[in-house]
Amino acid sequence: MKNVDDLIESAAELASRGLSKGEIADELNVSRETASWLVERSSTSPQQTDQSPPKPDDGGGGPQDIHVDWSAIGRDSKRMSAIAEAMADMLAKHGEDVDLTIGIEKAGGPIATLVASELETDLGTYTPAKHQWEEGDIEELGGTFSRNFASIRDRECYIVDDTITSGTTMRETIEAIRAEGGKPLACIVLADKQGLEELEGVPVYSLLQVISVGKDE
């Protein structure tokens, strides 16, 4: 994707397929507020199924955000494996007792699978509340751990995702793991838009920190 018009078009296409605004935010690696703005600009809502083209971008502003497109990595298994090896190397400093890696769905799942393979840990996945989000207070929604993968069972674990936009999803995952009696020792992502060093007392690592520099208009 090269510009905002491309993002608006992608948001329209995802909305026409029935994805929630929270899922669109996840797919496009933007905040929920940005996803909502993109969908509204596109003239396509999640309830519509027609394929009418999105409205062109008229430069009318919008939320401040940074879009991270890592599809050049994600489309190639060899590149993904290399990235996972680097992420696993950053986590390895926490010792050999960790035997569980949790991937945040959707994009964090495949990355976590490869990281878990590198670290020789079990694999679990967590679907965050934002996947159900359309409008309003996200705190009223809840995330879930998949029963098809390893359970927490009071274990120490790592958390893996593709990007941190605001930190809300990562914080939610940390709290969900603790609610199950688990102990998250570290989080790792491909790109961190916030430049975080820790969340809820848990260290946060990233291969890239993407920081916006400038003054608000």
- Is 154 part of any domain? yes
Q: Which of 39, 66, 93 is the last residue of a domain?
A: 66
> What is the total count of domains within the chain?
2
pLDDT tens for 94-142 read 877 899 999 999 889 999 999 999 999 999 999 988 755 556 655 666 7
CA dihedral 142, 106, 197, 3 (to 10 degrees): -120
AA identity, residue 182: G
Asked, for residue 214, whether it belongs to a domain, the answer is no
Strands of 198-199's sheet, edge to edge? Answer: 144-145, 122-127, 100-104, 156-164, 183-192, 202-209, 198-199
pLDDT on residue 114: 97
For 175, the domain range is 71-209
CA 175 from chain centre, in angstroms, equals 16
10-residue mean pLDDT profile of the chain (217 residues): values are: 76 83 77 80 52 42 76 94 96 85 93 96 91 60 88 94 92 95 96 93 94 61
Residue 161 near residue 143 (C-beta atoms within 8 A): no
Domain check: are 80 and 61 in the same one? no
Whether residues 164 and 180 fall in one domain: yes
Residues 164 and 192 in one domain: yes
